[in-house]
Structures are given as C-alpha cells and as structure tokens.
Amino acid sequence: MKVELFKDFTIADYHKWLREEKISLPELIEAFLERIKSIDPDLHAFLEINQQAALTEADILVKGDSFDKELAPLWGIPIAIKDNICVQGLPTTCGSRILRNYRSPYNATVIERLKEAGAIIIGKTNMDEFAMGSSTENSAFGPTRNPFDLERVAGGSSGGSAASVAALEVPISLGSDTGGSIRQPASFCGVVGLRPTYGRVSRYGLVSFASSLDQIGPIARSVDDCTRVFEIISGKDEQDSTCAPYPPFSRNDIPTEEEIRKLKIGLPREYFSGEVEKGVLELIEQSIDLLRKNNLETIEVRLPHTDYALEAYYIVSPCEASSNLARYDGVLYGFREKEGEDLESMYLSSRTRGFGEEVKRRIILGTYCLSSGYYDEYYLKGMKVRTLVRHDFEQVFEECDLLLTPVSPCLPFNLGEKTKDFYQMYLTDIFTIPSAMAGLPALSMNCGYCDHLPVGLQIIGPPFREELILGLAGFLEKRLSLTPPFPNFHQ
C-alpha cells in the first residue's frame, strides 16, 4: 500500500496499518519527512528536523523487542515538539537568538514518557521567543505561516506545533500554554489543543516563561488523538514539585454520550460581547444550538472579573519571566557577545543582542514591578486579582459543569497586522488568559470556517476534570463532522 498522508488519518488508523503491516514504519516516517521537506519551506513550522535520529529510531522499534507494538500506545507515531521542551541531543532555542547554539543534555519528563510509549520525535517547532507572543512573529528565526492562508499568522506562541499538525506534516505535536499559547494557535489552524489543569503535566524540561502559569499540552487533528497523547504525558513526577500527586488521566473516565447529554453548559456573558468578530460568534452560536438540539442544557453565567484578568496577567507573567530569564547572561547557556571589557558589559551586550524586543519589554516591565518597594503595589496586587478571577470560576462551576466560549475574538490575522501595536496583539488572548490565571483545564477545537479560515471554540472545565472537557469535545466533533477546506498544497 502506498503511504497516503494527505487525509485526516488518526493515530488509531496508523496503528491499524502498522499492526496489519499494510505499511512499514520506516516508510511511514520517511513519508512524513518527505512531506515536511516539500512544504515546510513555505510554512516554516519547524526549526529543526530530526531526520536521521527519527529513521534510526524507527529501525530500532522495528528490530527491537523492547516494545510490544500491540501494547505501546504511540508505537511508531511521529510527533513534533515545541522548541521550549528539552529533547536530549537536539537544539532547544525557544525561538531565541540567545539560545541559538544550545543543545539539551537531557529529556523533559514528557519526552521520556512519549518515548516509553513508542513515539518518534520528528523535529522541533517554531515559536514566539520564550513563548511570549500570539502569532509566532516574535520568533528570532522568522514567523510560521498559517496553512489555510500563507499570508496570515498561525497564532502563537505554539504556532509551529499547530501549523505542522494542520498541514499534515505530522499527526500530533506538543505545545505549551501560559496564557493561551496552545489554544489560540490551535484555533487559528483548525486543530484540537488542550491546556491541562496546572500541575497535571510535569514541567520538568520545559523552559520556564512564567512558572505559575506554564503547562505542556497536546495538539492533534482529532479529540481522540489529543486524548491519547494526554493520557501518556499526564501524571505526577518527582522531578517537578508543582506537579500534582494525581493519577494520570485515563480515557476510561470519559463520560458516555448519555452522561454528556446531562451536562449543564455555562455561557459566560463577558465572552459573547461586541468585541468578538461576527463570523466567529455565528459559528460558536451554531455549536451551542447543536448542543441544545441534543438536549444539553445551557445557561448564561457571569464572570465579573474577566476584564481585569488580562491586565493582571501582564503584571504576573512578566514578573516571573524577568526572574526566570535572568539565567541567560552569556555565561551558562548559548549566545555570548564577545566584546565587552568586563563581566558586566559582557552580560549587558549578550542580553541586548541575544533577546528580541518583546522579551526585553517584558523583562524591563517585570524587573520594574518586582523592584524594591513596588512588589506589593504590582505583583502582589496582580496575584490578588488572580484570586478574584479564580473565585469567579469556582462560583460558576457550582451552577454548571463546563463553560463554552470563543477561543479568540478574531480570525487569523495578516502577518504584520498587529506587530506594531503590542496591546492589540495581547487582546487576541483575552478569552484564554482568565482560565490560565485560574489554573483550569481548557480545550480549543474547530467549530467551522469563516471565509475559509478556521474558527475555534473553547471548552473550560473545573480543575482536573479534563475527562468532561474531552467528552464534550468528542461529542461535538462527531456531530459537527467538518471537512476542512484544505489549502492548495494539501492536494
């Protein structure tokens, strides 16, 4: 059988063919590598392609007896990894000049788990520098383009991970989400992205941006694929003290259709305002109608502190970033500016030339807010607002089981459209930041196309209730049964 990748196949499909030996594993990996080689020059989803190692890995899997392909849940499945997650021997640049030459000496916990499950790391994906951004235009290595329209952004900061999955360069990928970086690019690229509950997935080996917010999560073309990856990467980890002592997620916990029909879905009024583009709103409303037709109850709820979440996020996250990024000084990692008369001027010139504009803006802002005498006025106040935002969610989850909202108020925008005005860029995350501030799990999935561009719908749940979110997402996916208007180079 000829390996035909230009369709919406799932992990289950690949597994079936591999098991039945309709395709060989090296053939499968080579076909994906070919596809990356042919379309990635246009898309720029990848920063590094792990060609040789991926083929060797495939060989080892086929010859070795260390894996039972009947049992290993991701046996032979290629996966792309955001470039802020450490994979031993591969570069981890975080989309930054300052880490241009850095190679990871160890694997992140999620990578260890993926490998144990038989997955093959196919490459590292492009991202906004240190995950700061919403369009992947802040990458020091050039932006990723949206597979549905190459003149538009793929979203960010996990733009490479989302675009690579949408363009069928790879079936699944990992991203990271601090304030929306999995969900917003997943929405812009028409794929499924899950931000797990804070603490559900180990952050060991994830380069920190804002430690109290960062989470790793899967991006896939179907809810089922997303679930399979989440099952592998979740669960406690001795290496990360912020990782919750909670059992790993299990697919068996996903509610039945009958149980899903009994869920009460909250629609927060603050997320359905005039700020949302009309085309986006119409598609979200169609999905809500679909749920109602299937007898699910919907109620309007209020999250009164929503408006303050974005502002508080842009205090809390830069503070944490300024502290986390202090380690890049030209001594320990990556880039060092050669000139400089003494140590201090070497630090100064390395950081000045190594970091991009947005990262520097946040370091300056964070350093200012944390400076002596200002801590109470800014960081502490930001954290207090964060508590209010969390309380809003706690209250609504007394009235309903899940929340349904848009992911972003806008469609994927043109490259360059928002780079001049960083506040406009920040606003594209207005609906993903509040739940991140509250540490909640949330998923983004496609709910239709407006002017041939994908629109994402967000499902937010109470802490550690990913099974409800994934259950509802699967229920909707089945009934929406959308066919993506694939762009030209998909044919």
Minimal distance in Å, beta carbon 375 to ligand GLN?
21
Q: Residue 157: is the preceding peptide bond cis (ω within 30°)?
A: yes
Minimal distance in Å, beta carbon 142 to ligand GLN?
18
Using DSSP, state whether 299 is helix, strand or coil. strand
Minimal distance in Å, beta carbon 49 to ligand GLN?
23
Using DSSP, state whether 404 is helix, strand or coil. strand
Nearer to ligand GLN, 146 or 157 (CB): 157
Give the interface segment with ligand GLN, choosing from 53-61, 129-137, 326-334, 461-469 (CB under 6 A).
129-137
Give the interface segment with ligand GLN, choosing from 175-183, 198-206, 216-224, 452-460 (CB under 6 A).
175-183
Question: Interface residues for ligand GLN in 188-247 (CB under 6 A)?
Answer: 209
Indicate the helix (H) or strand (E) that contains 79.
Answer: strand 78-82
Minimal distance in Å, beta carbon 437 to ligand GLN?
11
Q: Does 126 bind ligand GLN (CB under 6 A)?
A: no
Nearer to ligand GLN, 180 or 266 (CB): 180
- Closest C-alpha to 121, from 86, 72, 96, 157: 86
- Contacts with ligand GLN by CB under 6 A: the residue count is 13
Among 76, 133, 143, 147, binds ligand GLN (CB under 6 A): 133
Minimal distance in Å, beta carbon 152 to ligand GLN?
17
Give the interface segment with ligand GLN, choosing from 12-20, 60-68, 98-106, 172-180 (CB under 6 A).
172-180
Could you confirm whether 212 is annotated as catalytic? no
- Closest C-alpha to 441, from 419, 411, 473, 416: 473
Give the interface segment with ligand GLN, choosing from 34-42, 128-136, 340-348, 374-382 (CB under 6 A).
128-136
Residue 457 near residue 447, CB atoms below 8 Å: yes
Joined together, the tokens standing for residue 20 give 């039945």
Question: Interface residues for ligand GLN in 313-332 (CB under 6 A)?
Answer: 317
Please state whether 129 falls in left (phi above 0), alpha (psi between -120 and 50) or beta. beta
Q: Does 178 bind ligand GLN (CB under 6 A)?
A: yes
Minimal distance in Å, beta carbon 102 to ligand GLN?
19
Give the interface segment with ligand GLN, choosing from 11-19, 176-184, 403-411, 442-450 (CB under 6 A).
176-184
Could you confirm whether 202 is annotated as catalytic? no
Among 91, 180, 412, 474, binds ligand GLN (CB under 6 A): 180
Nearer to ligand GLN, 181 or 324 (CB): 181
Chain residue at closest Cβ approach to ligand GLN: 181
Could you confirm whether 157 is annotated as catalytic? yes
Residue 184 near residue 134, CB atoms below 8 Å: yes
Measured CA to CA, the distance from residue 414 to residue 128 in angstroms comes to 16
Please identify which of the residues 104, 157, 158, 173 carries the catalytic annotation: 157
Q: Does 131 bind ligand GLN (CB under 6 A)?
A: yes
Among 181, 287, 306, 446, binds ligand GLN (CB under 6 A): 181
For the chain, give the number of residues: 491
Residue 254 near residue 227, CB atoms below 8 Å: yes
Q: Does 429 bind ligand GLN (CB under 6 A)?
A: yes
Nearer to ligand GLN, 28 or 415 (CB): 415
Q: Does 435 bind ligand GLN (CB under 6 A)?
A: no
- Closest C-alpha to 408, from 106, 234, 183: 183
Among 50, 93, 125, 157, binds ligand GLN (CB under 6 A): 157
Q: Is the dihedral of CA 299, 189, 140, 172 positive or negative?
A: positive
Minimal distance in Å, beta carbon 130 to ligand GLN?
8
Radius of gyration of the chain (CA): 21
Please identify which of the residues 96, 181, 202, 350 carries the catalytic annotation: 181
Torsion angles phi and psi, residue 400, rounded to 5: -145, 170
Contacts of 454 (CB under 8 A, 6+ apart): 148, 166, 187, 188, 189, 190, 412, 446, 448, 484
Minimal distance in Å, beta carbon 447 to ligand GLN?
21
Measured CA to CA, the distance from residue 64 to residue 51 in angstroms comes to 20
- Cα-based distances in Å from 17 to 69, 70, 408: 12, 12, 37
Measured CA to CA, the distance from residue 214 to residue 208 in angstroms comes to 7
- Closest C-alpha to 385, from 319, 338, 315: 315
Give the interface segment with ligand GLN, choosing from 109-117, 131-139, 251-259, 365-373 (CB under 6 A).
131-139
Nearer to ligand GLN, 263 or 438 (CB): 438
Give the interface segment with ligand GLN, choosing from 125-133, 147-155, 386-394, 441-449 (CB under 6 A).
125-133
Joined together, the tokens standing for residue 77 give 């499945």
Measured CA to CA, the distance from residue 182 to residue 163 in angstroms comes to 11
**Amino acid identity of 396?**
V
- Closest C-alpha to 50, from 104, 2, 12: 104
Minimal distance in Å, beta carbon 412 to ligand GLN?
14
Measured CA to CA, the distance from residue 410 to residue 401 in angstroms comes to 26
Joined together, the tokens standing for residue 23 give 């395709």
Minimal distance in Å, beta carbon 127 to ligand GLN?
8
Nearer to ligand GLN, 40 or 429 (CB): 429
Active-site residue set: 82, 157, 181
The binding site for ligand GLN (CB under 6 A) comprises: 131-134, 157, 177-181, 209, 317, 429
